[in-house]
Chain A
Amino acid sequence: MSNFEIVGREDYSDVTYQLEIRHPVMAKAAKAGQFVIVMEHEHGERIPLTLADFDPVQGTITLVIQAVGKTTREMQQNCQVGTKLFALVGPMGIPSHIGSPKKVLCVGGGLGVAPVYPQARAYARNGAYVIGVVGFRNKAVMFWEEKFRAVCDEVIVCTDDGSAGIKGLVTKGMEQALAAHPDIDEAIAIGPPIMMKACAEVTRPHHIKTLVSLNPVMVDGTGMCGGCRVKIGDGIKFACVDGPDFDAHTVDFDDLMARLARYRPTEQEALKKWEESCRMGGAPAGSTELF
């Protein structure tokens, strides 16, 4: 079907990088809100990544990845243009329901800026007035601002240090948007769980329907392992097949955050061992400008 060749790469910061992978069938099938599972090499782990973009004409999908653990760091090092991934499966999950709201708020924080882009574009295509709120640590690590400007009617940039846009978290940008547009009827927020939790609290008093995209620990991504179960209201759902989008006002974020930490000791051990082996073997190719 595809040999998962990497045909494009861009680095946005020392930890954030973008991969464009050729997979024509997936590029055609993918819809906003879906995710893929990637295995970099035969001994690798399966990691879920939300689709940041897909281009049915070029036959490629785009992933934006943050190098935080062993696998993502290793990918940062090894995934150069012309190399291939060992496995890539998707698109997975129920696509976002893009209805026809009149005015919609699309919020992305940090890495979450990438996966909220397809949603913003889909809303724009459905004729909605789209307000994009994107948040970064500082100006240096910003990416995709121009992509958002191209599909959104308004873009509010927030940075922690005020080096670009307004100074503050995305919640500040949301409040600003809500003040200017009392008629916003839908919101979607993607980012770290703590950010999504805060976003849910911003829209809750306004009774605005708010969706979040959850990315818990998964193995297969097809509903088989149950590792990605999340508490939604009183029930348990599997993010991989019942999600990944859920109503932000019913998600138990504390439960999600606790469960995300469940393999942390092993993950840290793996990262430490890997870093040691990198030092032992000398700096791997391409690592100088990345670390």
Chain B
Amino acid sequence: MAKKKTIRTIPQERTPMPEQDPLERARNFKEVACGYTLENALREAERCLMCPDAPCVRGCPVSIDIPAFIQKIAEKHYHGAYDVITDTNLLPAVCGRVCPQENQCEGVCTVGDSLEPVAIGRLERFVGDMAIREGWVNLPYIEKNGFKVGIVGSGPAGMACAADMAKAGCEVVVYEAFHEPGGVLKYGIPDFRLPNAVIDVEIDKLKQLGVRFECNTLVGRLFTIEQMITEMGFHSVFLGTGAGYPSFMGIPGESLNGVLSANELLTRCNLMRARDFPNFDTPMQPGKRVAVIGAGNTAMDALRVSLRLGAEKVYCVYRRGKAEAPARVEEIHHAGEEGVEFHWLTSPVEVLGDEQKRVRGMRCQKMELGEPDASGRRRPVPVPGSEFEFECDSVVYAIGTNANPILGQTAKLKLNKRGYIETDDNLATSIAGVFAGGDIVTGAATVIEAMGAGRRAARAMKAWLGLRDTDVVYAPEAPHVGRRFGFAADQHGYARIQVK
């Protein structure tokens, strides 16, 4: 570069993301954030100072070389940017959309000290989307090593682990209980935040790496983890089944019709496409006045899905304040724009029903914040005599999940007190060769944390199998892949990795 950039010379304002109009988008399932244009991306790339110490890289759970890929964008070498990202992150189009960048890379961005931080997530998504449009796939050379690896769960943790193990040359089979792979990315996150088509592209890439997906397979019940190792020839197994098992509060009225978990609402709407009823058979009874309990990302998804399903009033009920809400700031902002009414410092006491056992309303009480609790957030305390009632016909619980019990019921896995799988620092479980990561180990967290765990587990699995951790080398152009080997290697799923 000719001249060194400084905080004074870069564009001062963060490039805004083109978005659908709030009132229009609140009635459709199209993506809210439309993505950067070429001009947007080039301008935003200019804002990166290319800090030599790159705090953003340390802020990224999978350590993407962020300045390097932004540099490539600035040089208009977009495929190069894609190469840099895919070195460490398989799913830029997904992560660019759903990572909580404000707490990760963007939270520690040097520019962010005095201006708004560089929009790293939006740039990552720009690159990911361009790769999808242009059909770029970075297929590494893979030399088969004869090891067979089983992955249980096809969500973000499983996908990340599968990619790394396939790149290392293992035969990888991913088992999924649903009829489609993708896990929470498919059933949980709605299309207006992360279109299912994007996930399908990413899954397709895994298939091109040679990963095999076996859907309709409930591991633990159809066969056990022990059977995978003793009978089915797997040398190592990764468990990334997610948390599942939604929590309820235990207040009166929870079994009334019209009370459901956010997971159920989202699964019916997203994966089963109940929103396209009767073209799809899965039924759903969207409320006209919907109250969602909780203020995490799942709650925001449930609120915004309810609006799109035609609800007239949508309330967010949360026992703490806005500052304590676990959802991303951007999500809360989007939900508010679309017409969600927030009731902070409000805790449900009872769900009220009519004679037909249908929800007719909710009784809540006001809260105030007291001393900080174990999580460091101030504990909400009820205000005496503050109970009030309001009308609603649907109550959605989005207050978190507990550990899914199936693997614990069917394998001699050591679990912790809360029922999650216990692992050591390398994510190894109590069964030799079996590793675990993501929500089934940590409890509910984010997509990128699950992917990070999947990759950490992959490193440990490679070590366990005696494979050296290698850097991936890509073919410059796909057609040359074959020539080097004298046959069309790329057509046979072969590629090779090079040890640095």
Binding site for B on A (CB under 8 A): 1, 4, 25-26, 29, 34, 39, 43-46, 70-71, 86-94, 219-227, 229, 231, 236, 238, 241-242, 255, 258-259, 261-263, 265-267, 269-270, 273-274
CA distance A88 to B261 in the complex (A): 24
CA distance A219 to B267 in the complex (A): 8
Question: Are B267 and A91 in touch, CB under 8 angstroms?
Answer: no
Chain A interface mostly: mixed
Residues from chain B with Cβ under 8 Å of A71 in the complex: 281
Residues from chain A with Cβ under 8 Å of B272 in the complex: 45-46, 219
Partner of B245, one of A224, A231, A273: A224
Asked, given contacts A236-B254, A266-B283, A270-B277, whether A227 binds B264 with beta carbons under 8 Å apart, the answer is yes
**A242 and chain B: residue at smallest CB distance:** B405
Residues from chain A with Cβ under 8 Å of B218 in the complex: 89-92, 221-222
CA distance A90 to B222 in the complex (A): 6
Residues from chain A with Cβ under 8 Å of B258 in the complex: 262
CA distance A1 to B258 in the complex (A): 38
Residues from chain B with Cβ under 8 Å of A273 in the complex: 278
Question: Are A87 and B277 in touch, CB under 8 angstroms?
Answer: no
Q: Identify which of B209-217, B325-333, B473-481 touches chain A.
A: B209-217
B470 contacts the other chain (Cβ, under 8 Å)? Answer: no
Question: Are B254 and A39 in touch, CB under 8 angstroms?
Answer: no
Question: Are A225 and B284 in touch, CB under 8 angstroms?
Answer: no
Question: Are B255 and A43 in touch, CB under 8 angstroms?
Answer: no
Residues from chain A with Cβ under 8 Å of B280 in the complex: 43-45
We find that the number of chain B residues with CB closer than 8 angstroms to chain A is 45
User: Nearest chain A CB to B181's CB is how many angstroms away?
Assistant: 13
Partner of B264, one of A26, A93, A221, A225: A225
Asked, given contacts A90-B221, A231-B255, A270-B278, whether A223 binds B273 with beta carbons under 8 Å apart, the answer is no
Question: Are B179 and A89 in touch, CB under 8 angstroms?
Answer: yes
Residues from chain B with Cβ under 8 Å of A29 in the complex: 221-223
Question: Are B281 and A241 in touch, CB under 8 angstroms?
Answer: no
Partner of B285, one of A45, A90, A262, A270: A262
Given A219-B267, A223-B405, A259-B257, 13 more contacts at CB 8 Å?
A1-B216, A1-B217, A44-B282, A89-B179, A220-B267, A222-B218, A223-B404, A223-B406, A225-B264, A225-B267, A227-B264, A241-B404, A258-B357
In the complex, per-residue mask of B281-317: 1 if CB is within 8 Å of any chain A CB, else 0: 1111100000000000000000000000000000000
B59 contacts the other chain (Cβ, under 8 Å)? Answer: no
Partner of A224, one of B214, B260, B263, B273: B263
- List B241-276 residues whose CB lies under 8 Å from chain A: 242, 244-246, 248, 250, 254-255, 257-258, 260-261, 263-264, 267-268, 272-273
Could you jot down 16 A-B contacts, CB within 8 Å? A45-B283, A46-B282, A93-B221, A221-B177, A222-B404, A223-B406, A224-B244, A224-B404, A225-B246, A225-B267, A241-B405, A242-B405, A262-B285, A269-B278, A270-B278, A270-B281
CA distance A255 to B397 in the complex (A): 19
Partner of A87, one of B215, B257, B263: B215
B409 contacts the other chain (Cβ, under 8 Å)? Answer: yes
CA distance A44 to B471 in the complex (A): 44
| Residue of A93, A222, A269 contacting most chain B CB atoms (<10 Å) | A222
Question: Are A45 and B246 in touch, CB under 8 angstroms?
Answer: no
Chain B interface mostly: loop
In the complex, per-residue mask of B471-492: 1 if CB is within 8 Å of any chain A CB, else 0: 0000000000000000000000
User: Nearest chain A CB to B225's CB is how many angstroms away?
Assistant: 13
Question: Are A220 and B178 in touch, CB under 8 angstroms?
Answer: yes
B279 contacts the other chain (Cβ, under 8 Å)? Answer: yes
Question: Are B255 and A219 in touch, CB under 8 angstroms?
Answer: no
Question: Are B217 and A222 in touch, CB under 8 angstroms?
Answer: no
User: Nearest chain B CB to A79's CB is how many angstroms away?
Assistant: 15
**B353 and chain A: residue at smallest CB distance:** A258
Partner of A229, one of B179, B217, B255: B255
Partner of B282, one of A4, A45, A241, A274: A45
Partner of B255, one of A92, A236, A238, A261: A236
Question: Are A87 and B179 in touch, CB under 8 angstroms?
Answer: yes
CA distance A22 to B222 in the complex (A): 14
Asked, given contacts A1-B214, A219-B268, whether A25 binds B222 with beta carbons under 8 Å apart, the answer is yes
**B255 and chain A: residue at smallest CB distance:** A255
Partner of A227, one of B217, B260, B281: B260
The 8 closest A-B pairs by CB, nearest first: A266-B283, A87-B179, A225-B264, A224-B244, A262-B257, A226-B261, A263-B283, A45-B281
Binding site for A on B (CB under 8 A): 177-179, 187, 214-218, 221-223, 242, 244-246, 248, 250, 254-255, 257-258, 260-261, 263-264, 267-268, 272-273, 277-285, 357, 397, 404-406, 409
CA distance A1 to B250 in the complex (A): 40
User: Nearest chain A CB to B402's CB is how many angstroms away?
Assistant: 9
**B281 and chain A: residue at smallest CB distance:** A45
CA distance A88 to B281 in the complex (A): 16
Residues from chain B with Cβ under 8 Å of A242 in the complex: 405
Question: Are A238 and B282 in touch, CB under 8 angstroms?
Answer: no
Residues from chain B with Cβ under 8 Å of A4 in the complex: 216
User: Nearest chain B CB to A135's CB is how many angstroms away?
Assistant: 28
Question: Are A224 and B267 in touch, CB under 8 angstroms?
Answer: yes
**A39 and chain B: residue at smallest CB distance:** B179
Residues from chain B with Cβ under 8 Å of A223 in the complex: 244-245, 404-406
Question: Are B404 and A263 in touch, CB under 8 angstroms?
Answer: no
Asked, given contacts A86-B179, A223-B244, whether A241 binds B260 with beta carbons under 8 Å apart, the answer is no
User: Nearest chain B CB to A127's CB is how many angstroms away?
Assistant: 27
CA distance A269 to B277 in the complex (A): 10
CA distance A46 to B258 in the complex (A): 20
CA distance A92 to B409 in the complex (A): 12
Partner of A70, one of B178, B281, B404: B281
User: Nearest chain B CB to A282's CB is how many angstroms away?
Assistant: 20
CA distance A270 to B272 in the complex (A): 15
CA distance A94 to B131 in the complex (A): 45
Residues from chain B with Cβ under 8 Å of A87 in the complex: 179, 215-216
CA distance A87 to B180 in the complex (A): 10
Question: Are A222 and B244 in touch, CB under 8 angstroms?
Answer: yes
**B273 and chain A: residue at smallest CB distance:** A43
CA distance A72 to B248 in the complex (A): 31
Question: Are A92 and B216 in touch, CB under 8 angstroms?
Answer: no
Residues from chain A with Cβ under 8 Å of B267 in the complex: 219-220, 224-225
**B188 and chain A: residue at smallest CB distance:** A224
User: Nearest chain A CB to B264's CB is how many angstroms away?
Assistant: 4
User: Nearest chain B CB to A24's CB is how many angstroms away?
Assistant: 11
User: Nearest chain A CB to B250's CB is how many angstroms away?
Assistant: 8
